[in-house]
Amino acid sequence: MPARDPAVLRIALLALATALVAALALGLGAAGWDWQLVVTLRAPRVAAAAGVGSLLALAGLALQVLLRNPLADPYVLGHSTGASVGALAALLLGAQLWIGAASGALVAGLLLLWLARPALAAADDASPKLILLGTMLAAIFGAVATLMLALVPDERLRGAIFWMVGDLSGADASLWNLVAAAVFVAWLWARGRSVDRLMLGADAAWLLGEPVRRLRLELLVFASLAVGLAVSTAGSVGFVGLVVAQGWRLAGVLRTRELAVLAMLSGAALVMGADLLARIAVAPLELPVGAVMALIGAPCFIWFLARSVK
Amino acid sequence: MSDTPLLETRALTLRAAGRLLVDGLAWRVHAGERWCVIGRNGAGKSLVLRALAGLNVPERTGDVLWQGRPQGDWPAGAAATLRALMPQQPQDRFALTVERVLALSEVATSGSSPSELLSALDIAALAGRRVDQLSGGERQRVALAQCAMQGAGLMLLDEPVSFQDPAHQQLVGRWLTQSAGDRAWIASAHDPSWIARVATHVLALSGDGGWQAGPVDAILSAPVLERTYGCAWRSVEGAWLPA
């Protein structure tokens, strides 16, 4: 019975593809195959890429439902740059990096929800306004991060490329990111039906008996934690949530439960693949993974936007 | 128990942008009753339905009781089995299918299976289609089916036939006439002839706070219709026509 379920087949195939990408990312590189190198250098970086990709994909999925906008993405809407500012502040204050980053993402998210409140409450489509507001928030947080880096030269702060575009060189293995992604998926699985109903609209979900306020708060907190963890590992890598979650939606996957599992796997595969490209495209030089992701993601955003008639 | 109205309002007063729309509405709706709310554009029909459903409305005083208890005392989950609301314009942002939307709308057993409902409302052929790609009339019948799938005792319907062609107005009217039973519904509508066929009671809003509620024969009269819509009406062989 389960074997005939297309969802199970999709997940199994995708898990296989993700494992293949991981193997390629471990095996390929400027220095060729060297067991020592694979274990000490590539494996931590591949694990970091997988964790960051899963978290960002899940954050995108959560934000899309929260804001009822299929084009929502933590990078496009300023959550990632908010997390960068939070992380920089934490570094300067000597606090935990990921806590600062998660707080920054949460503040950015609350700010966006508050600014977009009239648009979200109105009956007409809030998408253009929401995207523009998010883009401007991203610009503001980006400027603040740049100013912090310029005004407080500090060895402990990483460079502007890391905070603005995202970079995985020298990233820690951070297996916690993978654990956090698994917890996020488990939560989305447990709340699957409620999150599905939230896609019908906040009023509609409330009329069906869903605890809408709590649900939306949980979505925001989970997304902010995920973005915070991802940004403190790799800086603000963009478009993962957009490409992965909306990509699967356009492919016809609409149930939150299946979408969460697929998003985690393909988010991991996407960032591992992008980082592989970043390492080998112009070897021995290394590109920042965020630039590669933007070159993949931004055209996708334009394509999604162009084909959405409404 | 059987005497407790499904819905009761006590001194319900609604304003919008400072304008008084409904003043001191005292009203009871019992199981088996089929109500239509009439009033000119902007008279507050949608606002009344939203308030009855428990959704936020800008300026509101007075009480709404569901089965004798103030609506605020019901937890959201229990409230979902008491009342359902069909909005005038569903807000589709995601490419969900009709089948999926109906499955998500099921709360209590409604007595009719999804397939019965789909064929009764002539949307069986749309089951696999995306809701954001339906025509206005098709989407409206799907919204009606969503509302029915919830299985609530009271259905609040905001203009269920405004986009329907004449044949589907009749179809929806027939379905609504049969569907009350031990339940009830309240629908905003405009065509007095259609209302005369499907409703048992009418609530007329004059738009300046005034209202009149009662059996359909008592309310659908030339003077009330004239006061409601601001134009003269005449009855020709059971059909109401603006003069």
In a domain, A109, yes or no: yes
HSE, side-chain direction, 13 A CA sphere, residue A42: 24
What pLDDT shows up at residue A268? 96
What pLDDT shows up at residue A254? 87
Shortest Cα distance, chain B CAs vs residue A91, angstroms: 40
| Per-residue tokens: A61 | 């999925």
Tell me what ipTM this predicted complex has.
Answer: 0.92
B150 neighbourhood in chain A, CB within 8 Å: 207-208
B51 neighbourhood in chain A, CB within 8 Å: none
Domain ranges of chain B: 7-242
Confidence of residue B1 (pLDDT cuts 50, 70, 90): very low
A118 alpha-carbon distance from chain centroid: 26
In a domain, A62, yes or no: yes
In a domain, A9, yes or no: no
A212 neighbourhood in chain B, CB within 8 Å: 76
Residue B22 β-bridge partners: B14, B209
For position A203, which CATH number holds?
A: 1.10.3470.10
Do A145 and A85 contact (CB within 8 A), yes or no? yes
Q: Which chain B residue lies closest to A249 (C-alpha atoms)? A: B95
Nearest by CB to B94, from A199, A207, A209: name it: A199
- Residue A24 burial class via C-beta count within 10 angstroms: exposed 0-12, middle 13-18, buried 19 and up: middle
Nearest by CB to B107, from A68, A208, A249: name it: A208
CATH of domain B7-242: 3.40.50.300
| Per-residue tokens: A217 | 């708060």
Testing the interface with A: which of B57, B71, B91 to mutate, by most A Cβ within 10 A?
B91
Size of interface A-B (CB pairs under 8 A): 64
Testing the interface with B: which of A207, A210, A250, A258 to mutate, by most B Cβ within 10 A?
A207
Nearest by CB to A206, from B76, B107, B150: name it: B76
Q: In what order do the strands lie in the sheet with B201-205?
A: B83-86, B154-158, B184-188, B34-38, B201-205, B211-215
What pLDDT shows up at residue B243? 79
A206 neighbourhood in chain B, CB within 8 Å: 55, 76
Chain B residues at the A interface, defined by Cβ less than 8 Å, are 53, 55, 76-81, 83-85, 87, 89-91, 93-97, 100-101, 104-105, 107, 132, 150
Q: Which chain A residue lies closest to B96 (C-alpha atoms)? A: A254
A125 neighbourhood in chain B, CB within 8 Å: 93
Do B38 and B207 contact (CB within 8 A), yes or no? no
A126 alpha-carbon distance from chain centroid: 22
Does B89 sit within 8 Å of A211, measured CB to CB?
A: no
**B222-237: pLDDT as tens digits:** 999 998 998 899 888 8
Domain range spanning residue A232? 51-307
Nearest by CB to A210, from B53, B76, B101: name it: B76
Does A125 sit within 8 Å of B78, measured CB to CB?
A: no
- Residue B220 burial class via C-beta count within 10 angstroms: exposed 0-12, middle 13-18, buried 19 and up: buried
Pick from A145-154, A214-223, B134-143, B221-230: least confident: A145-154
What pLDDT shows up at residue A69? 86
| Per-residue tokens: B105 | 């709308």
- Segment B77-85 shows an average pLDDT of 94
Q: In what order do the strands lie in the sheet with B59-66?
A: B19-29, B7-16, B59-66, B69-70
In a domain, A130, yes or no: yes
Tally of domains in chain A: 1
Residue B157 β-bridge partners: B86, B187
In a domain, A280, yes or no: yes
In a domain, A30, yes or no: no
Does A200 sit within 8 Å of B101, measured CB to CB?
A: yes
pTM for this entry: 0.90
Residue A290 has pLDDT above 50, yes or no: yes
What pLDDT shows up at residue A1? 41
Shortest Cα distance, chain A CAs vs residue B77, angstroms: 4
Three-class DSSP labels, chain B: CCCCCCEEEEEEEEEECCEEEEEEEEEEECCCCEEEEECCCCCCHHHHHHHHHCCCCCEEEEEEEECCEEHHHCCHHHHHHHEEEECCCCCCCCCCEHHHHHHHHCCCCCCCCHHHHHHHCCCHHHCCCEHHHCCHHHHHHHHHHHHHHCCCCEEEEECCCCCCCHHHHHHHHHHHHHHCCCCEEEEECCCHHHHHHHCCEEEEECCCECEEEEEHHHHCCHHHHHHHHCCCEEEECCEEEEC
In a domain, A198, yes or no: yes
**B95-132: pLDDT as tens digits:** 899 999 999 999 987 666 788 889 999 999 999 999 98
| Per-residue tokens: B221 | 């009269």
Average pLDDT along chain B: 91
Do B198 and B36 contact (CB within 8 A), yes or no? yes
| Per-residue tokens: A83 | 């997390």
- Segment A218-240 shows an average pLDDT of 91
Chain A residues at the B interface, defined by Cβ less than 8 Å, are 68-70, 123, 125, 127, 193, 196-197, 199-201, 203-204, 206-212, 249-250, 254-255, 310
Distance in angstroms (rounded) separating the CA atoms of residues A53 and A272: 8
